[in-house]
């Protein structure tokens, strides 16, 4: 058998095939089966060798990888590179190269969830232009008189702009309206606090010199400026909120709205379930004693807190058991000094069953009430499943948030409802992203998703680029061309790709507008170092566009006044998702995992430069030299 590193693409194809046939690899190798792959064998080998050679600082310098925001001679061996190239054909997007410079079978392109930074702006801009297309379809044919009568919610800026644009430019085509939408400007100022994710957050630009600008969305994409995209995402959330069929935003306007009570009850139910899941995960695989220890370890011990916890969790325990529990837990603390018999009796009586409800008992103990409830439930039902826990906690989830329903807390109710509305809006935005290839089952309901906080996969970004290149039509990604079972026997069976699986997921005009905006990123933006690197034999450059993104993932400890006490790197990524010419697209990702990412400062300039160095290898293929035979994997 060949080494994994020489067969990265084959490894992925074999894994796909095993999953497709629901057979382990051991069985797969014993089937009378020939499977042909879409990979270009010779090109795959050349690109793999090139990526491996980048570990050599001398070669890395030759390719231009050393310098500010790039690498140092000492750091070149630590960077992992992952590259995928697709070719658009009539019925599918065929994977021509899929490789990296590691000796691991794990594939960064498909097997990971990475924060890929500003590449998320491409997803945000896609959703934005699709919404503009919806608005053009909704209002484009209306007369000026009818447009003037359209009611638009005060905060729905996108519908307001669309109606005003069509009033001022009657009869304009969708293509014209999309170009005008890309010219809309947004402030890049980081001075504003944004209510998102249940609280107030501030965001920053990569370059401070952008802070005073008011760029168009076209320019903000080209130069990858954060704050315009945070504000654009806020407009998308508001559009979805105010134009949905069952407009929940009405709840914010009217405290007497009859559905408001029902909505708060839903919030309590959902919020409570989310918290329960967090608590359940820390207890799930532990026995009762370990669960108790886990719970108590998270508690700052004082006599009152421990009394409230013990009397709630073990309401039938004797005074003697209670006394010995408190003495043991408070040994060596200040609280131990006050624990005479009289004090213990008072604590036992004061916090017994019925003295306080669950929210108050949790408040006294300074723990989340649902954590306290769950611990008590698990003591009595140690083998409970999470679905049983959710069912059993229906009353308690409402009880814990009961303070929301008290009239003196209207402002708190508004905050909770705003959070709920944002969660709902992101559920719809997620559906829009999913339709164009987003690979995960949820988005983080925060404006930070606009700059990458929800994560992504390079392969999924490439699929979005393929849709844009293919004029808005999504076609299946192919790694395996055909299957031939039992050749030359009575059971001889051939399988090929099913045709007619293409479907339109965005208007052609949206795809055209996006290609134009992405070409600016290469011509004059964050990827301009690769401009002109790919040329036809006559010297004319191939059309090229893309989006860059850098993910610096850290755990930070924040002190008083927002001061960062410590910062620990989890990983660092830099990605370039691109199209070259009319048929080819792909991604190149540089990745440093774990704490070794601490000292790296490279940005997406790194993968752009690596792709530039790859041009001599790719150009013969891109120009149509497709004589390399497709590699095949055969089991007998």
pLDDT per position as a tens digit, 81-104 = 999 999 999 888 999 998 888 776
For the chain, the residue count is 636
Predicted local confidence at residue 557, as pLDDT:
46
Predicted local confidence at residue 11, as pLDDT:
72
With pLDDT > 90 as the criterion, what percentage of the chain qualifies?
52
Give DSSP secondary structure letters for 261-329.
Answer: HHHHHHHHHHHHHHHHHHHHHHHTT--HHHHHHHHHHTS---HHHHHHHHHHH-TT--HHHHHHHHHHH
| Residue 194, CA distances (Å) to 50, 84, 228, 452, 557 in order | 45, 37, 13, 17, 21
Confidence of residue 632 (pLDDT cuts 50, 70, 90): very low
Torsion 528-533-534-540 (CA) sign: positive
Please state at what angle helix 458-469 crosses helix 120-139, rounded to 10 degrees. 40
| Residue 323, CA distances (Å) to 291, 330, 336, 361 in order | 21, 11, 11, 19
Q: Where are the beta strands (DSSP E) in 358-417?
A: none
Task: Round to whole Å and give the CA distance between 404 and 397.
Answer: 12
> Would you state the structure tokens that stand for residue 535, as one six-digit string?
């040329």
Give DSSP secondary structure letters for 563-601.
Answer: -EEEEEEEEEEEEEEEEETTTEEEEEEEEEEGGGGGG--
Predicted local confidence at residue 413, as pLDDT:
63
10-45 burial: b if 16+ Cβ within 10 Å, else e: bbbbbbbbbeeeeeeeeebbebebbbbbbbbbebbb
Q: Cβ contacts of residue 285 below 8 Å, gap of 6+? A: none
Asked if 609 and 529 count as a contact pair (C-beta separation under 8 A), the reply is: yes
The whole-angstrom distance between residue 135's C-alpha and the CA centroid of its chain comes to 27
Task: Round to whole Å and give the CA distance between 60 and 211.
Answer: 34
Task: Round to whole Å and give the CA distance between 48 and 44.
Answer: 6
Predicted local confidence at residue 366, as pLDDT:
80
Task: Round to whole Å and give the CA distance between 343 and 524.
Answer: 75
Judged against a pLDDT cut of 50, whether residue 627 lies above it is answered with no
**For the residues 599-628, what does the mean pLDDT come to?**
85
Judged against a pLDDT cut of 90, whether residue 224 lies above it is answered with yes
Task: Round to whole Å and give the CA distance between 253 and 418.
Answer: 11
**For the residues 255-260, what does the mean pLDDT come to?**
67
How is residue 70 annotated by DSSP?
S
User: Cα-flanking dihedrals φ and ψ of residue 514, to 5°?
Assistant: -65, -40
**For the residues 202-209, what does the mean pLDDT come to?**
94
**For the residues 456-467, what does the mean pLDDT come to?**
94
pLDDT per position as a tens digit, 285-342 = 889 998 998 888 777 778 999 999 999 999 999 999 999 999 988 876 766 777 888 9
Predicted local confidence at residue 382, as pLDDT:
94
Predicted local confidence at residue 5, as pLDDT:
42
Predicted local confidence at residue 495, as pLDDT:
77
pLDDT per position as a tens digit, 382-428 = 999 999 999 999 999 888 877 656 656 666 666 766 776 787 788 88
Predicted local confidence at residue 630, as pLDDT:
40
Confidence of residue 105 (pLDDT cuts 50, 70, 90): low
**For the residues 34-54, what does the mean pLDDT come to?**
89
Query: 378 versus 285: which is more confidently predicted?
Result: 378
pLDDT per position as a tens digit, 566-578 = 455 567 899 999 9
Output Rg (C-alpha) for the chain, integer angstroms.
29
Task: Round to whole Å and give the CA distance between 243 and 245.
Answer: 6
> Would you state the structure tokens that stand for residue 296, as one six-digit string?
């108590």
């Amino acid at each position: 058998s060949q080494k994994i590193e020489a067969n990265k693409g084959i490894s992925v194809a074999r894994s796909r095939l095993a999953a497709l046939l629901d057979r382990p690899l051991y069985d797969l190798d014993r089937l009378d089966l020939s499977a042909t792959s879409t990979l270009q064998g010779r090109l795959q080998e050349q690109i793999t060798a090139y990526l491996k050679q980048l570990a050599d600082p001398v070669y890395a310098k030759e390719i231009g990888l050393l310098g500010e925001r790039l690498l140092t001679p000492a750091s070149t061996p630590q960077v992992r590179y992952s590259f995928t190239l697709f070719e658009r054909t009539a019925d599918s997007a065929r994977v021509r190269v899929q490789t990296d410079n590691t000796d691991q079978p794990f594939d960064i392109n498909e097997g990971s969830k990475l924060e890929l930074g500003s590449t998320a702006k491409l997803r945000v801009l896609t959703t934005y232009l699709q919404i503009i297309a919806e608005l053009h379809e909704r209002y484009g044919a209306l007369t000026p008189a009818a447009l003037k009568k359209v009611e638009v919610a005060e905060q729905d800026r996108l519908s307001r702009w669309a109606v005003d644009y069509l009033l001022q430019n009657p009869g304009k085509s969708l293509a014209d309206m999309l170009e005008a939408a890309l010219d809309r400007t947004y402030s890049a100022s980081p001075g504003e606090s944004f209510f998102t994710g249940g609280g107030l957050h501030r965001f920053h630009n990569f370059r401070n010199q952008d802070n005073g600008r008011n760029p168009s969305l076209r320019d903000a994409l080209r130069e990858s400026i954060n704050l315009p995209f945070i504000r654009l995402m806020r407009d998308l959330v508001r559009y979805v909120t105010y134009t949905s069929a069952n407009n929940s935003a009405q709840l914010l306007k009217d405290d007497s709205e009859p559905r408001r009570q029902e909505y708060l009850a839903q919030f309590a139910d959902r919020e409570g379930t989310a918290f329960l899941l967090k608590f359940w995960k820390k207890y799930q695989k532990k026995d009762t004693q370990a669960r108790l220890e886990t719970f108590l370890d998270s508690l700052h011990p004082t006599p009152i807190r421990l009394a409230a916890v013990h009397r709630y969790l073990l309401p039938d325990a004797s005074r003697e058991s209670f006394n010995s529990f408190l003495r043991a837990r408070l040994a060596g603390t200040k609280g131990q000094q006050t624990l005479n018999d009289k004090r213990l009796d008072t604590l036992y009586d004061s916090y017994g069953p019925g003295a306080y409800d669950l929210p108050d008992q949790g408040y006294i103990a300074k723990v989340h009430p649902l954590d306290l409830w769950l611990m008590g439930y698990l003591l009595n039902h140690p083998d409970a499943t999470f679905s049983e826990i959710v069912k059993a906690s229906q009353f308690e989830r409402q009880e814990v948030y009961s303070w929301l329903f008290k009239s003196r807390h209207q402002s708190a109710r508004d905050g909770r409802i705003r959070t709920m509305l944002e969660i709902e809006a992101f559920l719809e935005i997620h559906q829009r992203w999913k339709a164009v290839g987003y690979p995960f089952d949820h988005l983080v309901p925060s404006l930070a998703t606009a700059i990458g906080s929800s994560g992504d996969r390079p392969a999924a970004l490439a699929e979005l680029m393929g849709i844009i290149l293919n004029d808005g039509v999504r076609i299946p990604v192919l790694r395996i061309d055909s299957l031939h079972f039992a050749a030359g026997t009575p059971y001889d069976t051939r399988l090929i790709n099913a045709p007619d699986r293409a479907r339109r997921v965005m208007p052609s005009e949206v795809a055209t507008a996006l290609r134009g905006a992405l070409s600016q990123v290469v011509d004059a933006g964050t990827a301009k170092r690769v401009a002109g690197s790919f040329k036809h034999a006559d010297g004319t450059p191939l059309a090229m566009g893309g989006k860059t993104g850098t993910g610096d993932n850290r755990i930070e400890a924040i002190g008083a006044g927002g001061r960062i006490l410590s910062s620990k790197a989890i990983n660092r990524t830099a990605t370039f998702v691109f199209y070259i010419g009319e048929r080819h697209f792909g991604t190149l990702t540089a990745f440093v995992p774990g704490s070794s990412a601490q000292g790296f400062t490279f940005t997406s300039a790194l993968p752009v430069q690596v792709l530039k160095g790859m041009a001599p290898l790719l150009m013969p293929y891109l120009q149509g030299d497709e004589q390399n035979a497709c590699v095949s994997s055969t089991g007998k």
